[in-house]
Amino acid sequence: MKRTTDLALPHIIVIGGGFGGLTFCRKFPDGLARITLIDRQNHHLFQPLLYQVATAGLSAVDIAQPIRAILADKPNFQSLMADVCGVDLQNRRLQLCGGLATHEIHDELTYDYLVLAVGGVTSYFGNDDWAKLAPGLKSLDDALKIRRQILLAFERAEIETDEAKRKELMTIVVVGGGPTGVELAGTFSELSRTVLVRDFDRIDPRAARVILIEGTRRVLATFPPDLSESAERQLKKLGVETRAGARVQAIRPGEVELSDGEVIRAANIIWSAGVAASPLTRKLGVEVDRAGRVKVEPDLSLPGFPNVFAIGDMVTLTDKNGVVVPGVSPAAMQMGKHAAKIIAHEIKEQIRPGGVAREAFAYRDKGSMATIGRSKAVAQIGRLHFSGYPAWLAWLFVHLVFLVGFRSKLSVFLQWTYSYLTYRRGARIITGAHGAPPANSA
């Protein structure tokens, strides 16, 4: 069904269909502007549950929804799947990658307002050669790759007769003790001890080692110290070895070297230690920090370009209350809402971009939580600190409520219930070009 788009309306382009970009589109009032959302993927990804795809708990489809479907009913809205390679801020025009801009869709690529919400990428702090040896977890493809690698390692261990090699195959090193690292380490350990343990004959999956490496002095460094301690205790109960205060010196095929000289042999190395802004930010010609994040004005606009906003993980900002805004999804959503409010007001009142004083963004910290395993989590809501079962229930509730789409909610709820009752995982499927494990290569 072709929707009619009113081309006389001001045009807003949003780049990125993550939490920030999607919230902007949802919150922007209908009828004031036509909106074009451009993303290189066709889906919005529910990032907080991505680790569950990597650990075979959920399928890719459960945590992703086509952007077109989410916003199918919004008038004067269109979605384009394309890769943006540059922005001409002076002429208010986008360049698509691969010459697609020459296809005479100029109308779609020229904007009155631009909202940049391109998010982050895995950062190896200059050691880009580590990317191949220690995959990060930012996209569905990353998650499927990690799932495939870990499940294949256990299959290979099952036919491996060399004791040292078998141990190596059954060792998982997670680098970075933030929420994602903690969630991955806890869930991998649980997967091997409660799920895989029933299926293998020659190996004992309970002997699998999961080692979590954190550079600072405690895991979940952004959480209150008592919750970090609780998280470490809960991880220990699951069999995870935590190395706080340990830095990675080098990563080589099959091994990680720490700064104290220790070498850990491991066939599986996952990187969750660093995030940088998408490379697009360095092409904008505006000031960025070391991680490539754009330094925005208090109203979230780009310095010198009041008609361009940047929101979410690609931004570095100390808000009007002096709070450094963290790179988390609630912050991205709040920023999307803030930008929508400002732009809607200016269009409605026919004010030129930045023609009136704008409200400064203020981050509202609604708390933070991390799950560690079955009935194991930590949560902080204001001054309240939870651990264990109550925190885990709160985590389940919040993630189900925010998961986009009724179908996904139902499917995820049913799979969680099933896994909880049966200690089974449904998504233990290895896909990828070659089925059988490659021989003689760790």
Residues 17-56 that bind a second copy (CB under 8 A): 39-43
Residue 68 is inside which H or E element, if any?
Answer: helix 67-70
φ, ψ dihedrals at 231, nearest 5°: -60, -40
Query: Shortest approach of a second copy to residue 120 CB, angstroms?
Result: 15
Choosing from 108, 160, 183, 190, which is the catalytic residue? 183
- If the CB atoms of residues 202 and 283 are measured against a second copy, the closer one turns out to be 202
Which of these segments, 74-82, 209-217, 284-292, 368-376, binds a second copy (CB under 8 A)? 74-82
Tell which one of 27, 32, 89, 158 touches a second copy (CB under 8 A).
Answer: 158
What are the DSSP E strand ranges found in 17-176?
34-39, 43-45, 64-66, 77-81, 84-88, 93-96, 113-116, 120-122, 171-175
User: Helix (H, G, I), strand (E, B), or coil: what is residue 80?
Assistant: strand
Which of these segments, 181-189, 294-302, 306-314, 403-411, binds a second copy (CB under 8 A)? 403-411
Query: Shortest approach of a second copy to residue 410 CB, angstroms?
Result: 7
Query: Shortest approach of a second copy to residue 182 CB, angstroms?
Result: 25
**From CA 329, how far away is CA 347, in angstroms rounded?**
27
Matching residue, tokens 């990032």: 47
Bridge-based pairing state of the strands 120-122 and 11-15: unpaired
Tell which one of 128, 163, 201, 349 touches a second copy (CB under 8 A).
Answer: 201
- If the CB atoms of residues 9 and 286 are measured against a second copy, the closer one turns out to be 9
Site for a second copy in 404-433 (CB under 8 A): 407-408, 410-411, 414-415, 418, 424, 426-433
Tell which one of 27, 68, 233, 337 touches a second copy (CB under 8 A).
Answer: 68
**From CA 115, how far away is CA 253, in angstroms rounded?**
41
- If the CB atoms of residues 98 and 261 are measured against a second copy, the closer one turns out to be 98
Is 287 one of the annotated active-site residues of the chain? no
162 in contact with a second copy (CB under 8 A)? yes
Site for a second copy in 203-232 (CB under 8 A): 204
Dig out the tokens for 204 from the structure: 């004992």
438 in contact with a second copy (CB under 8 A)? yes
CA Rg value for the chain: 23
Matching residue, tokens 């609604």: 366
| Structural contact between residues 374 and 235, judged by C-beta atoms closer than 8 angstroms | no
Site for a second copy in 112-141 (CB under 8 A): 139-141
382 in contact with a second copy (CB under 8 A)? no
Tell which one of 19, 119, 121, 160 touches a second copy (CB under 8 A).
Answer: 160
Give the interface size with a second copy as a residue count (CB under 8 A): 75
Matching residue, tokens 């869709």: 105
DSSP of 355-369: -S--PPP------EE
Which of these segments, 171-179, 197-205, 310-318, 378-386, binds a second copy (CB under 8 A)? 197-205
Dig out the tokens for 327 from the structure: 């790179």
Q: C-alpha angle 76/77/78, rounded to 5°?
A: 130
Dig out the tokens for 308 from the structure: 């361009």
- If the CB atoms of residues 5 and 222 are measured against a second copy, the closer one turns out to be 5
Site for a second copy in 75-114 (CB under 8 A): 77-83, 96-100, 103-105, 108
Catalytic residues: 183
